[in-house]
Structure 1
Amino acid sequence: MTRAIFATAAILLFSGAAYADDWASKFKQLDTDGNGSISRTEWEANVATLKLDPAPTFTAMDQDVNNSVDSDEWAQAEKMAKAFPVACKSSKESWCPKQY
């Protein structure tokens, strides 16, 4: 029984880490010039290739309005994207797409 609990916990831990690593790798893909932030130009040129669902808007991510998204802003966007399906499932509003 203890083994089953440990195995389940390990699977959940690693699947969460893979999801986080996925977002980290996507940040690196978008940061084409390697300067540690994503410019609006980099975002617009490459976001469609990442197939983020839901894809946050650049303006929503750029919290300090400096026309770039740094790793902290990217982490916030990741949290919002993870929370969206949960909030959407519990909503009866029209802003929620049918897929959630």
Structure 2
Amino acid sequence: MGFMFLVTSAVLGYVYSPHLDSPPPRWVHFAHGLLLFLYQTFDAVDGKQARRTNSSSPLGELFDHGCDALACAFETMAFGSTAMCGRDSFWFWVISAVPFYGATWE
């Protein structure tokens, strides 16, 4: 469920700034922040809830880590829209590689 918050954030950024180089409306920046907060909150709570209800499994943990790794790409799209760095920018790809590497490190 939390993953969908980041997908929504990336879609908003893409709709209002398709080349990631023009400023989207101000409310889109607020939506990016709110949706990122909701993603992080739901991501932190889902594992604890699964352990609390004895419904955790190795497959669920693998699925959660997979969603977290994919979330980095969508988070980068949202950040690229906010920073207006453009899709062809070197820094756009550096910014996208660092969180993906960090999320898959463990």
Q: Please report the TM-score for the alignment, with normalisation by the length of structure 1.
A: 0.33
Structure number with greater Rg is: 1
**Normalized per residue, which structure has more strand?**
1
* Greater relative CO (CA pairs within 8 A, separation 6+): 2
Structure ranking higher in helix proportion: 2
